[in-house]
Amino acid sequence: MESKKTCTGPDEGLDIKDSSRRNFLKQSTLLTAIALTPGTAIKAAADHVDEQFAAVFEKMPLKMEVNGKQQSLSVEPRSTLLDILREQLDLTGTKKGCDHGQCGACTVHVDGHRVNSCLTLGIMVNGKKITTIEGLAKGDQLHPMQEAFIKHDGFQCGYCTPGQIMSAVACIREGHANSEHEIREYMSGNICRCGAYPNIVNAIQEVKDGGMKV
Amino acid sequence: MKKAIDSIMPSSSAGMSRIDGRLKVTGAAKYSAEYTPAGLTYGVLVGSTITKGSITSIDTKAAGQAPGVLAVITHLNAPKVPGDQPEGGKPVPPKGAFKVFYDDKIYYNGQPIALVIADTFERALFGASLVKAQYHTDKHITNLPDNRSNGFPPRGEGTYKRGTEDAWKAAPFKVEQEYIVPTVTHNPMELHAIIANWDADNKLSVWDKTQGVKGTQEDLAHLFKLPVENVQVHSQFVGGAFGSALRTWPHEVAAIIGAKVVKKPVKLVLSRADMFTSVGYRPFTWQKIAIGATADGKLTGITHEAAGQTSSYENFTEGPTGVSQNLYACPNVNTKYHLVALDIATPTWMRGPGEATGSFALESALDELSYSLKLDPVELRLRNYAEKDPESGKPFSSKFLNEAYQLGADHIGWSERKQEPASVKKDGWLVGYGMAGGMFGAYRSGATIRAKMNTDGSLLLQSAVSDIGPGTGTAMVLIASEQMGIPAEKIRFEMGDSSLPNAPTQGGSATTASVGSAVYQACADLKEKFQKLIGNGGTDKPDYAKVLKEHNLPSLEVVTETGGGNGMEKYAMNSWSVHFVKVLVNPATGVVKIDKVACVADSGHIISPKTARSQVVGGAIGGIGMALMEESIIDHRYGRYINNNFADYHVPVNADIPQIDALFVNKPDPIINPMGAKGMAEIALIGMAAAVANAVYNASGKRVRDLPITPDKVMA
Ligand code: FES
Ligand code: FES
């Protein structure tokens, strides 16, 4: 059910369709022009002109709300949300630990759910709301989970930490933090090579037991 | 600071929190790949697909024409690295560090053969996929056990003997067994990354993942023949390393070459797969231990042999047999260490280098001996307790390992343990207890600190030291806070930049001892300077701000250099640890669950209880990974790693780990440094793998001698 909403946010939907269509038309006109002259087409292929064309035209518009701010971007369909956050929006709090959905360092919230941003193409989150670690605190006031991670030393090097914290917040929201055992299970998608696991569990339990709003 | 304090077991929320905690939990801490110099470009490496041979041709045309690609660099067109060239008149050394893009030779699978640079990461990655090489392939060997007979002794580290050789043979009780520690990969969560930029023809800046900015600065200055001060190395935050960032690696040099070619900053981030071939690993090591003992458990002889793998182009040694030379009082010890050169990349130090490997064998063998003697394993160790260094005969600067044994045994409930293996079952699981210990030299080297007191009463401390995670800055601030008598919030510690005062590379558990001593002394010097200002009658810790204002001074500053300490001549200096583990083994599946852990560190006075606890817990978890799951597997037909990702290379996850109790004897060492603090990073892991293996035996009666202890081995 969720996947149906992909690519068409409630407001931006039409807009996106329109511009994609315009791009497609422009692109196909040019490609047709090449196709009409076989000699040119072969030479173009040999020189990888097709790829160069593709590179120019294969950009898609992407509108998303990141940490409460609207972003309108033009991205390659192959760009992951992770790389878009880090390289285009300079939101480097979201980390790359594997790029393969195996470590959780890149965890962000998409419409409130925890997601591995390295396994998510940017164009899949069109119209959606993204929250990254940079958007968790309210100004100077840290989120209770951030406070608890500091208090319980839920990290050493800090590299897995943004992903752990985003996951931890979602873990409580999902209702998967009812016991130490359950927390451990539902936090096992986030690897911490420094081995801060017990401290992370303690931090999550404190927030959960404190009944603080996450 | 040398207070005699009682042992402590801090909770996760005890004591002062990290000074950089806020930056780390908000995503504001910037790691090497996260800087954006103007004109930034992206580099992706192409690795060789063969294991040994040479490149006969390399087709870079398609890559070169791919959209956004700025350059494709190979051995054919790379600008020469001056430091890699043979020195005029001098013979070319037969072995040495791998030189990237130097020639057509292939030494290991995944060796970088090309660097593709483009304007975006995606385009560089796609470009890299288009580079095609043809090779001449030679027969490779990547398998140590089959090639152990080709081993050779490393220079100066081959053999050791005291007393009678092979004295164990004549003993009434003996154990002789072989043990395997497989290749284990550091795999810090942060991928190794560098951003390289040539600010001018002879000026280089790098944001680089390194455990030592000064070491990297020197290496790069040497390689590119630049004055040291023309190389700037920034490494403010390091996302873990465990040894993998102790030396300068080929990808760093490749990025710098790339930046020279495109005349723009180049960012190069290794992939997770690259992490298995590019930045070292703990080498596969075969060991054989033989121990003899009298009926009352006195060791009469230890013979320890080890063969560790290295690359074909470089000899890497880590002394795995050292533990047998000095962990126990044993009159007769002989050891032999060989290297086996294989067609793989060079290994490197990984947390507890040498000792972690050696102690797995020694502490497992000792456990085996305890069963044949029908003697409690703790008692066996106490009967062979070394009161002075067995190797040199020197007294220890401090040693409270016997107290550590007691603390750990009490804490885990050792009295519940049954000597008879596989005799306790609870809820369908076999229950067992195991213990093992470790030691590591307590080192200290020279360091310099700049300390500056400002009129607002704030203190700035500066040092080039890196922090790969232990919380170095936090410990330094605590030392300064106590020495100066000002609150920690008033102190700022600047680090991780080569322009700052000299500090050693963070490694060998020596940072607190080295840099901490400099902080301690700098504070003393600064206080003295204040005393001079005040003249007679000044107090030890005056109101600094007031004094500055009274004397109309904007600040007062000292630069203090401390040496490596000279205790080594008279004393043997070590940190010790002992790990107690309770495991559950499923008799139907062979699954091992860690149920309870108590780790005790004898590492002198504890400066920062919260971060010290985390370090011990983290080390224990690393040891659990080594014991139960970690192994980098090569398919020897192709010489290539087949589990080079986090789905197939298993590291402990949250569900694998219970609460871990970290205890500290917390008695200051009177010799090593003014704080009485010794290192703990390595001892936190050393001995852990054996403790788990010993517990698995106690639970199940199954002795697993080749790590990791996977269910198939438990069931075999
Ligand atoms: S970087 Fe996304 S899961 Fe590892
Ligand atoms: S804090 Fe270093 S990986 Fe988790």
Element (H, E) at B425: strand B425-426
Least Cα distance to B32 among B206, B245, B224, B218 occurs for B206
CA distance B407 to B711: 31
Q: Do B311 and B292 form a contact (C-beta atoms < 8 A)?
A: no
Q: Give the pLDDT score at B513.
A: 86
The overall average pLDDT reported for chain B is 96
Contact A153 B660 (CB under 8 A): no
Over the stretch A194-212, which tens digit does the pLDDT of each residue have?
Answer: 999 999 999 999 999 998 8
Q: Give the pLDDT score at A213.
A: 83
Q: Which two tokens stand for residue B557?
A: 């500053």
Is the pTM higher than 0.90? The answer reads yes
CB proximity list for B572: less than 8 A, separation 6 or greater: B326, B388, B389, B391, B392, B394, B395, B396, B397
CA distance B308 to B312: 13
CA distance B400 to B603: 9
CATH topology of domain B1-28+394-438+572-716: Aldehyde Oxidoreductase; domain 4 (3.30.365)
CA distance B140 to B548: 69
CB proximity list for B146: less than 8 A, separation 6 or greater: none
User: What is the residue type of B457?
Assistant: G
Give the B window 583-612 contacts with A, CB below 8 Å.
610-611
Q: Do B231 and B221 form a contact (C-beta atoms < 8 A)?
A: yes
Residue B345 alpha carbon to ligand 2 centre in Å: 26
CB proximity list for A202: less than 8 A, separation 6 or greater: A152, A154, B12, B13
CA distances from B531 to B271, B432, B452, B481, B544 (A): 55, 60, 15, 18, 10
- Pocket lined around ligand 1, Cβ cut-off 6 Å: A 96-99, 101-106, 116, 118
Sheet with strand B203-208: strands edge to edge: B69-74, B112-118, B41-47, B266-269, B193-200, B203-208, B231-234
Pocket test for ligand 1, best of A80, A100, A191 (most atoms within 8 A of CB): A100
Q: Do A189 and A98 form a contact (C-beta atoms < 8 A)?
A: no
CB proximity list for B228: less than 8 A, separation 6 or greater: B217, B218, B221
Least Cα distance to A114 among A87, A136, A97 occurs for A136
CB pairs under 8 A between A and B: 202
Q: Give the pLDDT score at B536.
A: 64
Enumerate the H helices of B179-294 as residue ranges: 213-223, 250-262, 275-278
Residue A100 alpha carbon to ligand 1 centre in Å: 5
CB proximity list for B3: less than 8 A, separation 6 or greater: B605, B668
Question: Of A76, A102, A153, which is closest to B611 when you measure between CB atoms?
Answer: A153
Q: Do A74 and A62 form a contact (C-beta atoms < 8 A)?
A: yes
> CATH 1.10.150.120 occupies which residues in chain A?
144-209
Whether the upstream peptide bond of residue B395 has omega within 30° of 0, thus cis, is no
CA distance B615 to A155: 10
Ligand nearest to the CA of B188: 2
CATH match of A57-134 with 3.40.47.10: no
CATH match of B444-562 with 3.30.930.10: no
Q: Give the pLDDT score at B508.
A: 78
B229 is catalytic: no
DSSP tag of A134: G
Give the ipTM of the model, two decimals please. 0.96
Q: Which two tokens stand for residue A45?
A: 């292929």
Does the pLDDT of residue A118 top 60, yes or no? yes
What is the residue with the minimal CA distance to atom 3 of ligand 1?
Answer: A101
Kindly state whether B643 is in contact with chain A, defined as any CB-CB distance less than 8 angstroms: no
The partner residues of B310 in beta bridges, in order of sequence, read: B341
- The top-level CATH class assigned to B141-185+280-393 is alpha beta
Least Cα distance to B277 among B146, B98, B117, B123 occurs for B98
Q: Do B23 and B182 form a contact (C-beta atoms < 8 A)?
A: no
CATH for B38-138+191-278? 3.90.1170.50
Helix, strand, or coil here: B379? helix
Pocket test for ligand 1, best of A102, A110, A159 (most atoms within 8 A of CB): A102
Least Cα distance to A189 among A96, A93, A105 occurs for A105
The domain spans of chain B are: 1-28+394-438+572-716, 38-138+191-278, 141-185+280-393, 444-562
CA distance A144 to A169: 9
Over the stretch B192-236, which tens digit does the pLDDT of each residue have?
Answer: 999 999 999 999 999 999 999 999 999 999 999 999 999 999 999
CB proximity list for A32: less than 8 A, separation 6 or greater: none
CA distance A16 to A108: 24
Q: Do B597 and B687 form a contact (C-beta atoms < 8 A)?
A: no
Q: Which residue has the tokens 């000597």?
A: B419
CA distance B678 to B605: 7
Over the stretch A16-47, which tens digit does the pLDDT of each residue have?
Answer: 333 443 444 444 444 444 444 555 555 655 56
CA distance B502 to B584: 48
Q: Do B313 and B339 form a contact (C-beta atoms < 8 A)?
A: no
Neighbours of B312 (CB within 10 A): 17
Enumerate the H helices of A47-143 as residue ranges: 49-57, 81-83
Sorting pLDDT into bands at 50, 70 and 90, what band is A4?
A: very low
Q: Which atom of ligand 2 is nearest to the CA of A154?
A: 1
CATH match of A144-209 with 1.10.150.120: yes
Q: Which two tokens stand for residue A172?
A: 């409580």
Distance, in angstroms, between B454 CA and closest chain A CA?
26
Q: Give the pLDDT score at A15.
A: 35
Give the B window 650-679 contacts with A, CB below 8 Å.
651-655, 657-660
Over the stretch A119-171, which tens digit does the pLDDT of each residue have?
Answer: 999 999 999 999 999 999 999 999 999 999 999 999 999 999 999 999 999 99
SS3 content of chain A, % helix, strand, coil (to 5): 50, 15, 35
CA B159 vs. chain centroid, Å, equals 25
Contact A184 B271 (CB under 8 A): no
Element (H, E) at A144: helix A144-151
Kindly state whether A200 is in contact with chain B, defined as any CB-CB distance less than 8 angstroms: yes
Q: Which atom of ligand 2 is nearest to the CA of A157?
A: 2
Q: Do B271 and A99 form a contact (C-beta atoms < 8 A)?
A: yes
Q: Which two tokens stand for residue B574?
A: 């070590």
Least Cα distance to B554 among B458, B655, B485, B638 occurs for B458
Neighbours of A161 (CB within 10 A): 32
Kindly state whether A193 is in contact with chain B, defined as any CB-CB distance less than 8 angstroms: yes
* Helices A49-57 & A13-36 angle (0-180, nearest 10): 160
Question: Of B24, B123, B189, which is closest to A103 when you measure between CB atoms?
Answer: B189
Q: Which two tokens stand for residue B651?
A: 């590291």
Pocket test for ligand 1, best of A85, A106, A120 (most atoms within 8 A of CB): A106
Q: Do B266 and B190 form a contact (C-beta atoms < 8 A)?
A: no
What proportion of chain A, given as a percentage, has pLDDT over 70? 73
Distance, in angstroms, between A193 CA and closest chain B CA?
6
Q: Which stretches of chain B drop beneath a pLDDT of 70? A: 1-5, 536-539
B101 phi/psi in degrees, rounded to 5: 55, 35
CB proximity list for B701: less than 8 A, separation 6 or greater: B421, B422
